[in-house]
Amino acid sequence: MEEEKTREFPEPEGSGTKQYLEEMQRIFAVREATYQKRKQEYEQKSRDLQKIQTELGRQYQSLEGQKQEMASAQQKLADQEAAHRKEQEALQREKQDFEQTKKLYEGQQQELLMKSRLE
């Protein structure tokens, strides 16, 4: 690690302190530019991720709404099917009652016909 630091920062050579400072400024400028570039990339990625997260949240809410609508529709359908079954059962009972009443009347009619013929 120490070796890396000494490689990055050249040692001053005699009376080259001005050159050394210029070189250090150049190195720091490059580092600053690299940092700013990475910072911008990070911020852009962060914004992109925020947009994705927002969109996913919106889609999730939409799906939850659809899920609730589906559950409501299924319940409504089940209620309608139950009502239909009750109606069918009632119609079946009415039909049976009608058939029994019809047979009773037909029997009574036959009986009356027989009595009228006998008289």
Q: Is residue 83 part of a domain?
A: yes
Is 40 within the bounds of a domain? yes
Q: How many domains does the chain have?
A: 1
- In this prediction, residue 11 carries a pLDDT of 57
pLDDT of the residue at 29 = 97
Q: Is residue 3 part of a domain?
A: no
Higher pLDDT, 60 or 3: 60
Average pLDDT (68-87) is: 97
In the predicted structure, residue 14 carries a pLDDT above the cut 70:
no
Q: How far apart are CA 56 and CA 58, in angstroms?
A: 5
48 falls within a domain: yes
- Nearest of 1, 20, 19 to residue 10 by alpha carbon: 20
Domain contains 95 = no
Give the mean pLDDT of 91-100: 96
Range of the domain at 33: 15-89
Q: Give the pLDDT confidence score for residue 81 in this predicted structure.
A: 97
Task: For Cα atoms 64, 67, 69, give the angle at the middle one, nearest 5 degrees.
Answer: 110
Residue 112 maps to a domain: no
The answer to whether residue 7 sits within a structural domain is no
Q: What is the mean pLDDT of the chain?
A: 89
